[in-house]
Structure 1
Amino acid sequence: MASYCETDLQLHNKLHHAKQHKLIDATGHLKDKVCSHHDKPLEVYCRTDQQCICYLCTMDEHRGHDTVSAATGRAEIQKQMDETQREFQQRIQMREKELQELSEAVASITSSAQSAVEDSERIFTEMIRSIERRRSEVTKLIRDQEKAAVSQAEGDMERLKQEIDELKRRHSELEQLSHTEDHIHFLQRRQALPVTPEAGFGPRISVSPRSDFGNLRKVVSEMKDQLENFCRMKMAEIHHPVTKDTVLPVLVPRTRAEFLHYSCQLTLDPNTANREVSLSGGNRKVTWGGRAAIS
């Protein structure tokens, strides 16, 4: 029960050569290998108390206990440890497989999500372009109608200006004629002048009181509302397949502690209980024939 340097070890081997002392690598915990009660080496393993003892302990406080040599105890525990290590190795391999599957799932989700984003961006871009084309068509339609209406109105305005000038000229002639004192001249000139102001002029122009494209605004507004309603409906339909297609890993409980995460207090319904059972404890305990069946 002593530690030696290399020089002292040679002397030890000379002095105790015949005794065949068992030598092991030097350790700094020699006191842990000596029985604190008998100051003897710990060479026996007590299965009953699961601790190392000396030979004197087997005849003292460990008398009658199930004891074996330290080597035998080590072999038994080593066997258990080997089994535990195999279980650890199996669990490691299982977890590594789950990690690999989860990593692959993440990569798949990321790739699929990117592809879906690109496809949706392309489709929405095409939709936006389609709406832009429709917007341009409506704008062109309005401008063409505006141009035609303005062109017609400008032509009518020019004709009206000419008619106004002609009417003013005729009015002036009539005014001059009405002031002449020569009766013959008056009568002769009167025959050459129009009988009514409408004679020789175009039809009367009727201007619409409203030319603000109100009906068009109404139709475009209705189209916007219908498009928004359609988009809302389709967005609800889009949400379902997106969440359904994204398959997330399911954590399967294996141990009692993991199962207990999903435990909850049950409250039993007295209306559906068998007539032979009695409920108590806030309807959480069942008694059958005087014995507690479930609690």
Structure 2
Amino acid sequence: MAAASYLPSEDQFLCSICLDLFTDPVSTSCGHNFCKDCITEHWDTSDRCQCPMCKKEFNTRPELHVNTFISEMVAQFRQSAQQKARSSSSSEQQVFKAGEVPCDVCTETKLKALKSCLVCLTSYCETHLEPHLTKSVLKRHQLIDPVENLEDRMCPKHDKPLELFCKTDQTCVCMLCTVSDHKMHDVVPLKEEYEDKKAELGKTEAKIQQMIQRRRLKIQEIKHSVDLTEKDADREVAELFQVFTALKESVERLINTIKEKQKETEKKAETLIKELDLEISQLKKRSAKVEHLSRSEDHLHVLQGVKTLNIQHPSPTKDWTKVSIPPPSYEGTVENAVAQLEQTLTELRKLLEGTVVRAVVQLEETFSQEMKELIEPELKDVQKYAVNVTLDPDTAHPNLILSGGGKRVSLGDVTTNLAYNPKRFHYSVCVLGKQSFSSGTFYYEVQVKGKTDWELGVARESINRMGKIRLSPQRGIWIAWLRNGNEYKALDDPPVLLSLKSQPQKVGVFVDYEEGLVSFYDVDVAALIYSFTGCSFTEKLFPYFSPCVNDGTQNSAPLIISPVRVN
């Protein structure tokens, strides 16, 4: 019986290759055991088929079969080890450690909490949690994974659990809040809003994954485009080398022609010099004879010598007065070479111009298409967060005219005499939307057609209403504007001059409160105009509109809040 309960140690079930418990153990003819995959991979990567333990070589690779006895022993060992681990973990009550949530009921040794109750606002260890699992009254309580600071789940004003959600103000409230600050608001249970938000998060995650996938595909497309442009570049470079080679050959031919003509000139000069040297030698001999006779006083000898020399008719010599070496003529050669060079350079210029123009046009077309493909899905996504924005007459400058059910604003010629209102802008010609936002995302569109000046964006609640507004994010306003019909600018820190391919006729404004993002879109062409990123929002945000001054009649067209239609 004692032998039956005996369980070998772990070392006996370790594969000597992977040093882990056997998986599908097989035995070789030499009696050693290995994981089937380990020994197969070892033989696949080795030059010899031999046992890794005893180095015994096999003429042919042995056929391997799983050793069922060892396999069963390993399975029994695993099961025993798991049971031992479970019993040891249940026997040693998990004592609370730093970074973990302690049980609120334990008085002496604080144990690790297993669950937290949102009704009791208490965290329980395994022992103290038992009533919540057995008693019918406590079973209805909501248990969650242990969390710290359960007091944060209490309403700071009424000291009641935050068990409701106000959709109007997008915040968690207690029961007493619904009869005071949030009376007549759209309030639902936390669980209901949780389910809705969780579903939205699932959709958002799916959209993000789709966007990631689209961008990965776009990366592949761009890489493919780069590969194609690389081939085009290689072809263009080859053509350039051909042109430069032709240019080099033309110059070399010109140089060779000039050298050959110079050699011909030198050869002719050498021939003439040899002929002259010969005549000089002959003349020197005759001169010596004449000199010898002129010194003799022998009458007969002199007369006989003169007769021999024939001084009356000296030996004929060449007339060198008209002989010369004309310089080589390179006129035709140079002109022909220059003509060839000019032709080659013209071809090179055309090739370069064609290459650059084609490359620039192709780059612009590719970039525009890729940007459109990237922005269009984003615009469709943000358009889903469209909200119904109307203009707030209590904030409108006295010279502004609101119409169209709070959807149109333009500048009038007469200042309206209105009662004092601290919300109203008294200096800047602008107006805010009625709707405010302190969380989440929202989007709206404004028609700017026919205007030469405008300002659009969002502003925080505490923006200056009495004096001049400093237009920058530091002052609580995030806007883009148009000036003089074609000067677009984002009033960031510092301001950014925008270069747009087309003049927007309808501008979309998107805000993500938690992400600190304000983006402007050209709706008609689905193009991103500008994005403020990393913004810090701490107050309510209001849509901001300014039609600017009329400039006679050039800028008299109104700003119109348009219904959002998904492209």
- Give the TM-score normalised by the residue count of structure 1: 0.71
Give how far 1:168 is off.
0.4
Change (3 A) 1:117 1:128: same
**What is the distance in 2 between the residues matched to 1:12 and 1:109?**
69
Q: Give the corresponding residue for 1:293.
A: 557
Aligned to 1:201: 316
Mapped to 1, the partners of 2:245 and 2:284 lie a distance apart of: 58
Q: Is the 8 A contact 1:286 1:293 kept in 2?
A: no
What is aligned with 1:243? 356
Question: For 2:196, which of 76, 89, 92 is the aligned residue?
Answer: 76
Q: Deviations over 1:173-208 (max 9, x none)?
A: 66257x5556xx7766655542546x3223212365
| Aligned mate of 1:161, from 277, 280, 284 | 280
What is the CA-CA distance between 1:3 and the residue it aligns to?
Answer: 0.9
Whole-angstrom CA distance in 1 between matches of 2:258 and 2:324: 23
Aligned equivalents of 1:111, 1:240: Cα separation in 2? 19
Structure 2 CA distance for aligned equivalents of residues 221 and 294 of structure 1: 73
- Seen in structure 2, the aligned counterparts of structure 1 residues 43 and 188 have a Cα distance that, compared at 3 Å, is closer
Aligned partner of 2:168 in structure 1 is: 48
SS of the equivalent of 1:162 reads: helix
Name 1:277's counterpart in structure 2: none
2:148 pairs with 1:148: no
User: Offset of 1:51 from its aligned partner?
Assistant: 0.9
Matched, 1:103 2:223: yes
Q: 1:118-170: per-residue Cα shift (whole Å, max 9, x none)? A: 553355346535543553343234224312331x1233123212331243045
Measured in 2, the distance between the counterparts of 1:156 and 1:140 equals 23
Q: Tell me the secondary structure at the aligned position of residue 292 of structure 1.
A: coil
CA–CA distance in 1 between the matches of 2:203 and 2:482? Answer: 31
| Comparing 71-80 and 53-62, the one that deviates more | 71-80
- Whole-Å separation in 2 of the counterparts to 1:187 and 1:161: 26
1:112 and 2:251 are equivalent in the alignment: no
Map of 1:67 onto structure 2: 187
How far apart, in 2, do the equivalents of 1:239 and 1:261 lie?
A: 41
Distance across 2 between alignment mates of 1:191 and 1:43: 155
Does the CA-based 8 Å contact 2:243-2:348 persist in structure 1? no
**3-state SS of 1:202 partner:** coil
**Structure-1 separation of matches of 2:218 and 2:483:** 28
Equivalenced residue count is 269
Q: Distance in 2 between matches of 1:263 and 1:89?
A: 36
How far apart in 1 are the matches of 2:221 and 2:483? 31
State the distance in 2 between where 1:42 and 1:155 align: 124
What is the SS of the residue equivalent to 1:172?
helix
Structure with a larger share of its residues in helix: 1
Match of 1:34 in 2: 154
SS of 2:165's equivalent in the other structure is strand
Distance in 2 (CA, whole Å) between partners of 1:19 and 1:190 is 163
- Matched to 1:3, the amino acid is S
Q: For 2:269, what is the secondary structure of its paired residue? A: helix
Counterpart AA for 1:287: T
Aligned sequence identity (%): 23
Instruction: Give 2:310's aligned amino acid.
Output: P
Given that residues 165 and 171 in structure 2 are in contact (C-alpha distance below 8 angstroms), is that contact kept between their aligned partners in structure 1?
yes
RMSD over aligned CA atoms reads 3.9
The alignment status of 1:171 with 2:437, answered yes or no, reads: no
Once the two structures are overlaid, the 10-residue window that deviates more, 137-146 or 55-64, is 137-146
Contact 1:285/1:294 (<8 A) preserved:
no
Determine the C-alpha separation between the residues in 2 that align with 1:90 and 1:109.
28
Q: Is the 8 A contact 2:165 2:190 kept in 1?
A: yes
Q: Which residue of the other structure, out of 468, 478, 485, is the alignment partner of 1:266?
A: 485
One-letter amino acid of the structure 2 residue matched with residue 203 of structure 1: K
Q: Which has the higher contact order (CA 8 A, sep 6+)?
A: 2
Matched, 1:92 2:200: no
Shift of 1:46: 0.8
- Shift of the 48–33 alpha-carbon distance from structure 1 to 2, 3 Å rule, reads same
Deviation at 1:2, TM superposition (A): 1.0
Could you tell me how far apart the structure 2 residues matched to 1:116 and 1:22 are? 72
| C-alpha displacement of 1:212 | 5.0
What is the CA–CA distance in structure 2 between the aligned matches of 1:175 and 1:294, rounded to whole Å?
129
Residues 1:24 and 1:221: Cα distance change in structure 2 (over 3 Å): same
Distance 2:155 2:357 in 1: 67
Q: 1:86 to 1:189 in 2, by over 3 A?
A: closer
Write out per-residue CA displacement over residues 21-67 of structure 1, whole angstroms, 9 at most, x where no aligned residue: 22111122423322222222222111111111122221222121111
Partner of 1:293, secondary structure, is coil
How many Å separate the matches in 2 of 1:186 and 1:41? 159
Q: Does the CA-based 8 Å contact 2:254-2:337 persist in structure 1?
A: no
CA distance in 2, matches of 1:238, 1:123: 9
In the alignment, residue 19 of structure 1 is paired with which amino acid?
L
Larger strand share, 1 or 2 = 2
TM-superposition CA deviations, 1:81-109 (whole Å, max 9, x none): 44444443443333333322222222332
Counterpart CA distance in 2 for 1:162 and 1:211 is: 26
Please give the secondary structure, in 2, of the residue aligned with 1:40.
coil
Q: Deviations over 1:214-247 (max 9, x none)?
A: x33x666656755665555444323212212323
Q: What residue identity is the alignment partner of 2:349?
A: A
Q: Distance in 1 between matches of 2:480 and 2:220?
A: 25
